[in-house]
Amino acid sequence: MVVMADILVALSGGVDSTVAAALLVEEGHNVTGVTLKLWGGETDSGCCSVSDVEDARRVAQQLGIDHHVFNFGDDFDRHVVEPYVADYAAGRVPNPCIECNRHIKFDKLFRRADALGFDLIATGHHAQVRRRADGVYHIGRGADPAKDQSYVLHMLAQDQIRRLRLPVGAFTKDHVRELAGELGLRTANKPDSQDVCFIERTPGRGEKGRLVFLGERIPIRSATIVDQAGTVVGSAPSIELVTVGQRKGLDLGGAAERRYVIDIDHDAAIVTVGSFEDTLTRQTEVPDLVWTAGPVTGELIVQCSAHGARKPARVEAAKPTTVLWDEPHQRVAVGQSVVLYVEDEVVGGGIAG
C-alpha cells in the first residue's frame, strides 16, 4: 500500500522530472513542483534557461499542482562554479554535477523542504532507492544502463535516501518518453540537457567551451610536453585542461606511436607523456572515502566517471581509503569521483587524491 505524502518535486523542465511528478500525482500524493534558479550568467541550456522554467511551469499547470521557483544562485556560485574554476586552476578535474547534487539539490533543497513541511523530495534521476531487510538504504543503478545516474548520487546519506523518491529510475528512457507522450506532456520529445549547464553550447561544452569560460576567470597558461627523457615533444594551449591518461588533443608533432599523459607538473606547466602501460596503476587513493552505511571490505565494482567502465576492485581493512584494482587500471585524475558498488548498489565513494 502506498502511503500518501507531501512531496516536493524538483522540476528541471526536462522529460524525466516532469514524468516523475506525473507518476507521483497518479499515486495520489500531494505534489508541489519547484524549479531551481541556479546560474545567473549567460545560459542556453540546463535548469536555468527561460524556456526550461516555462516548460516546468506549464507541466505543473497541466498536472494541477503548485509550482515555485527557488533562487539558489548565490549557493550555486559558492559551492559549484567557484570550486569548478579553483579546481582547474589547481590542476584538479572537477565534477560540477556531483557538487551541485551534494550542496544544492540534496542539501539546500532538503533544508527548504523541511522548512516548508514536506515529507519527501523527488527528482527525475535515473537511479533507484533500495531498502534492505535490515532497514539500510542504498542508491541502486537505474533500469536503463545507458542513462544510469547512480554515480552522481553516491554522496547521499541514509536520512537523505530514506526521504527521496526517484519515480523514473525503474524505467528505460524510451519508456519515460512514451509515458510523457501518453500523458500529453510538452516535454515528451525535449532533448536531454547537457551536464555543465553554465557553459554554453557556443563555443561548445568541450575543451573549447571550458577554455573560454575559464579564461574569463583565471589566467590560462600553455604547457610544454616532454617525454620521459625530458625531451620537448610538443605543447598544449592550457595546462589547466590536461588530464592524466589523456591521448587526444595533444600537439605531439605527428608522433608515430600513441602517447598518453602520465604526469602533470602544474606549477612548472610541464606535461610528461609515455606509453599506455605507463598510465597504469594497481591502486587509487581516495582520501575522503565515505560509506553509505558503514565500511565495506572485499570485492567491489568501481566506476570513475559518470558513464565510465565498471571495473572489479577491492578495499581492505588495513587500507580503508585505497582502492586496489584487480587488474592494472589507468590512473584516475585528481578530483574525479570514485564510486564503489556491491553488485548494482552504491556503497560508498569519494574524490581521487
The one-letter amino acid code at 104 reads: I
Residue 205: pLDDT above 70?
no
Residue 195: pLDDT above 70?
no
Q: What is the rounded average pLDDT of the residues 62-90?
A: 96
The string of pLDDT tens digits covering residues 247-305 is 887 878 666 688 999 999 999 999 999 999 999 999 999 999 999 999 999 999 999 99
- Beta-strand pair 6-10/30-37: parallel
Name the pLDDT band for 197 (thresholds 50, 70, 90): confident
Determine what percent of the chain is predicted with pLDDT higher than 90. Answer: 82
- Return d(Cα 264, Cα 262) in angstroms, integer: 7
Q: Which of 47, 48, 97, 197 is catalytic?
A: 197
Residue 46: pLDDT above 60?
no
**Catalytic residue at 48?**
no
pLDDT of residue 45: 53
Q: Which of 47, 97, 100, 304 is catalytic?
A: 100
User: 202-229: b or e for each residue (b if 16 or more CB lie within 10 Å)?
Assistant: eeebeeebbbebbeeeeebeebbbbbee
The one-letter amino acid code at 54 reads: E
pLDDT of residue 337: 97
Q: What is the rounded average pLDDT of the residues 96-108?
A: 95
Q: Are 37 and 46 in contact (CB under 8 A)?
A: no
**Catalytic residue at 100?**
yes
Residue 49: pLDDT above 70?
no
Name the pLDDT band for 203 (thresholds 50, 70, 90): low
pLDDT of residue 167: 98
- What global pTM score does this model have? 0.92
pLDDT of residue 117: 97
pLDDT of residue 320: 94
Nearest to 341 by CA among 171, 141, 172, 127: 141
Domains of the chain: 6-124+167-183 (3.40.50.620), 221-274 (2.30.30.280), 280-351 (2.40.30.10)
- Measured in whole angstroms, the distance separating CA 65 from the mean position of its chain's CA atoms is 29
For residue 325 the three cell numbers come to: 584494482
